[in-house]
Structure 1
Amino acid sequence: MNITREQVDALNAVVTVAITKDDYKNNVDKILQDYRKNASIPGFRKGAVPMSLIHKQYGKAVLLDEVNKLLQKSLNDYLAKEKLDILGNPLPKVTEDFNWDTDDYSFEFELGLAPEFTVDLGAKNKVVRYNIVADDAMLNEQVERIQKQYGKLVPKDVIEEGDDIAGTFSNEERGINNPATITLDIFKDKKAAKKFIGKKVGDVVTLSTKGLFDDDHKLMDYLKVGHDDVHGLDIEVNFTIEEVNTTEKAELNQELFDKLFGEGVVTSLEDLKAKIKEDAEQQFAQQADQKFLNDVTESLIETTKFDLPAEFLTKWIQSAGKEPLTAEQADAEYKKSEGGLRYQLIEGKVLSQNNLQITFEELKAFTSDVIKKQMAQFGQLNPTDEDVDGIVARVLSNQDEVKRLSEQVMSEKMLNLYKEKVAHETKEVTYQDFIKEMYGE
């Protein structure tokens, strides 16, 4: 057997695998001998079938199978030995007049090669790392939310702003008859909200669905209208008022503090706001980190320049799935996946350039921390090391869980690396301003 490689250019190569009769003859003969021993053909005793008949009946299929196995193994061994960093899989070059009736064969495979490049994490870019703070407005809003949540519902006769209103949305023609509890701030249309002010139990308010909410999809929740019907829905619905309540806010006292955080943890309004601020900013930090990671990813894709074997990859995509694609479909699929492929290569380069690896001890420690947090959510605040270690062992015996947790550990390592090495500016914002930065609203 002989394997040669022709370098077409920096990103494409053709590997030729030449197989001679000596490479496969012994295996083919052995398999056919085994077939002969077990063949049951009318007119011949078992084990006494002529080899010529065995060759005629099974020879071509066995030859094809053995040559294919030999071909795949030799190609894989060659790629590993040469340490070729390929993209996709080798593509066999189709030969229309290939002749299986000869003794020697030659097979050609196209290769798409990964480009050579480096990643400069310190390059100038526009990445911002947000520090989200819980401002006084948010803290006051959260305190009021807690007071309402733990307050007491008080029935009312007449609707005012801020009341909870129970009733039923209906439209006989469209088959709508859905109970709901609402507050007036759910409506984008302020005129619709004003229609409720001063109304009583038993009154009916007629509303137009067009522009009623800030998102038409909310019609699915409040009216139980199908997804295909909500966009631009323009009908009138009735809301029959069945119950009106206001909330008598809970008193900010030690009993409430202990109920929320445990005995003696919070003893004043200042403590309560400090606790809310701490918890909120921990959650904000996770969201800010995710945005930073996403923004760095986009920046690296934009600033790290290299070519890809696009023509090869398009051809590979065309034949890689369960069903072959047309050339146009494969081209569209390549364009859709190119950014993801580029980042996979960039991420791999970042890992190798910075020698980022995961040890089993790191994975075990991370898993232990995750489990302790989950147990704390269910009130198990002080589990024994033995209990935690037992759960860790069970989790890490599942390969899918190992893969999932390893990805989380590596993501954390990448985040820490980016925080340290990627040039960025830090910007302190409120959560509301952060949302505007994210969604442009």
Structure 2
Amino acid sequence: MNISREQVDALNAIVTVAISKDDYADKVNKVLADYRKHANIPGFRKGAVPMSLIQKQYGKAVLLDEVNKLLQSSLNDYLVEEKLDILGNPLPKITEDFNWDKEDFTFEFELGLAPEFSVDLAGISNVTKFEIEADAAMLDEQVERIQKQYGKMVSQDTVEADFTLRGTFSNEEKGINNTTNITLDIFSNQDVANQFVGKKVGDVVAVATKGLFDDDHKLMDYLKVSHDDVHGLDITVDFTIEEINAVEKAELNQELFDKLFGEGNVTSVADLKGKIKEDAEAQFAQQADQKFLNDVIEGLIESTTFELPATFLKKWIQTVGENPLTAEQAEEEYAKSEKGLRYQLIEGKIIAANNLQIQFEDLKAHTAELIKKQMAQFGQLNPSDEEVEGIVARVLSNQDEVKRLSEQVMSEKMLSLFKEQVKANAKKVNYQEFIKEMYGE
């Protein structure tokens, strides 16, 4: 057997595998001999079928199978030995006049090679690391929300300005049908709020979505429309009133504090606001980290330039799925996936250069932390180590979960590295300011 490589250019190569009869004959003969031992052919005793008949009936199929096995194993070994960093899989070159009746065979494969490039984390600019502050207005709002949430709901007959309504926003054309609670102060225009005053259960109020709220993103919460749809959404939605309630706010006393945070942990309104601030800013920090990570990734993709074997990859995309794609479909798929492929290559360089390996202990610790947080949400604040370890073992026995969690661990490692090596501008904002930064408004 002989394997050779022709370097077409820096990103493309042709590998030729020449297989002679000596490479496969013994394997083919062994398989045919096994067939002969077990063949049941009328007119012949088991094991006494002439080899010529076995050869005639099974020879070509066995030849194809054994040559293919030899071809795949030798090609894979060659790629490993030569340390070739390929993209996709080798693509066999189709030979119209290929003849399986010959004794020696030559196969050619196209390779798409990964480009050579370097990554400069220090060269990324215009990245901001946000610190999101829970300001006084937010804390006051959250305190009032808690008072209303734990207050007493008193049913009413007619809507007044400070009442709470439960009802459904709907628009058949846009497929909007979302049941929610509202208060009239959510609307940016007092004229809209006034339309509800005096209405009763069963009444329908039509409102225009354009300028309905002070921030169009609130349409995502109240109407359950996507972020892509909220900008410039200019339709009319109906709000069908289903309940009218006045809220008798809960008193800010020790009984409420103990109910919220456990006995004696919060003893004053100042403590309550401090706890709200701590919890909110911990959640905000995660959102800020995610934006920072996304912005660095975008910066890396923009600043790290290299060519890809695009023609090869488009041909490979045509063949890789369950159903072959047309050239036009492959072109579209490549356009959608190119950015992701570029980052995969960049990420691989960063991981290798910084030895960012995932140890099993990292995976166990990450999984245990997630499980503890989930258990805390259901009131299990102090689970035993044995209980947590048992759940971790069950989770990590699922390979899909291992893959998903490993990606999270690696994302955390990349985030830590970026924080160390990327020069970012620090900016303190409140949550509303962050939302505007997040969505480019």
**Both structures adopt the same fold (TM-score exceeding 0.5):** yes
1:426 and 1:233 map into 2 onto residues whose CA distance is 39
- Against the structure 1 CA distance between its residues 207 and 189, is the aligned structure 2 distance closer, same or farther, given a 3 Å change threshold? farther
Return the letter of the residue paired with 2:254: Q
Is 157-166 or 260-269 further displaced after alignment?
Answer: 157-166
1:300 and 1:168 map into 2 onto residues whose CA distance is 44
* Contact preservation (8 Å) 1:15, 1:110: yes
Matching of residue 33 in structure 1 with residue 33 in structure 2: yes
Residue 121 of structure 2 aligns to a residue whose secondary structure is coil
Return the letter of the residue paired with 1:435: I
Return the letter of the residue paired with 1:389: E
Q: How far does residue 202 in structure 1 lie from its aligned partner after superposition? A: 6.3
What is the 5 A alignment of 1:416-435?
Answer: 416-435=416-435
Superposition TM-score, scaled by structure 1 size: 0.89
Aligned to 1:337: 337
Aligned to 2:348: 348
* Contact preservation (8 Å) 1:363, 1:409: yes
Aligned to 1:439: 439
* Contact preservation (8 Å) 1:164, 1:182: yes
Q: How far does residue 373 in structure 1 lie from its aligned partner after superposition? A: 2.3
Structure 1: gaps (5+ residues): none
1:128 and 1:276 map into 2 onto residues whose CA distance is 26
Return the letter of the residue paired with 1:253: N
Aligned to 2:282: 282
Residue 342 of structure 2 aligns to a residue whose secondary structure is helix
Aligned to 1:73: 73
2:170 and 2:80 map into 1 onto residues whose CA distance is 68
Aligned to 2:206: 207
- Against the structure 1 CA distance between its residues 324 and 194, is the aligned structure 2 distance closer, same or farther, given a 3 Å change threshold? same
* Contact preservation (8 Å) 2:129, 2:424: yes
- Against the structure 1 CA distance between its residues 179 and 133, is the aligned structure 2 distance closer, same or farther, given a 3 Å change threshold? closer
Matching of residue 294 in structure 1 with residue 286 in structure 2: no
Residue 6 of structure 2 aligns to a residue whose secondary structure is strand
Aligned to 1:9: 9
What is the 5 A alignment of 1:95-134?
Answer: 95-134=95-134
Q: How far does residue 221 in structure 1 lie from its aligned partner after superposition? A: 7.2
- Against the structure 1 CA distance between its residues 280 and 208, is the aligned structure 2 distance closer, same or farther, given a 3 Å change threshold? closer
Percent identity for Structure 1 against Structure 2: 69
Q: Cα RMSD between the aligned structures?
A: 2.9
What is the 5 A alignment of 1:40-51?
Answer: 40-51=40-51
2:73 and 2:286 map into 1 onto residues whose CA distance is 46
Residue 24 of structure 2 aligns to a residue whose secondary structure is helix
1:87 and 1:238 map into 2 onto residues whose CA distance is 54
1:177 and 1:391 map into 2 onto residues whose CA distance is 38
Matching of residue 247 in structure 1 with residue 252 in structure 2: no
2:24 and 2:129 map into 1 onto residues whose CA distance is 61
* Contact preservation (8 Å) 1:216, 1:232: no
1:210 and 1:284 map into 2 onto residues whose CA distance is 28
Aligned to 2:410: 410
* Contact preservation (8 Å) 2:178, 2:224: no
Q: How far does residue 118 in structure 1 lie from its aligned partner after superposition? A: 1.1
2:165 and 2:421 map into 1 onto residues whose CA distance is 54
Q: How far does residue 220 in structure 1 lie from its aligned partner after superposition? A: 7.1
- Against the structure 1 CA distance between its residues 206 and 13, is the aligned structure 2 distance closer, same or farther, given a 3 Å change threshold? closer
Residue 381 of structure 1 aligns to a residue whose secondary structure is coil
- Against the structure 1 CA distance between its residues 98 and 211, is the aligned structure 2 distance closer, same or farther, given a 3 Å change threshold? same
- Against the structure 1 CA distance between its residues 140 and 182, is the aligned structure 2 distance closer, same or farther, given a 3 Å change threshold? closer
Aligned to 1:372: 372
1:206 and 1:385 map into 2 onto residues whose CA distance is 55
What is the 5 A alignment of 1:171-210?
Answer: 182-185=182-185, 191-197=191-197, 199=198, 201=200, 204=203, 207=206
* Contact preservation (8 Å) 1:192, 1:207: no
Residue 122 of structure 1 aligns to a residue whose secondary structure is helix
Q: How far does residue 36 in structure 1 lie from its aligned partner after superposition? A: 1.5
1:218 and 1:281 map into 2 onto residues whose CA distance is 21
Q: How far does residue 440 in structure 1 lie from its aligned partner after superposition? A: 2.8
Structure 2: gaps (5+ residues): none
* Contact preservation (8 Å) 1:192, 1:212: no
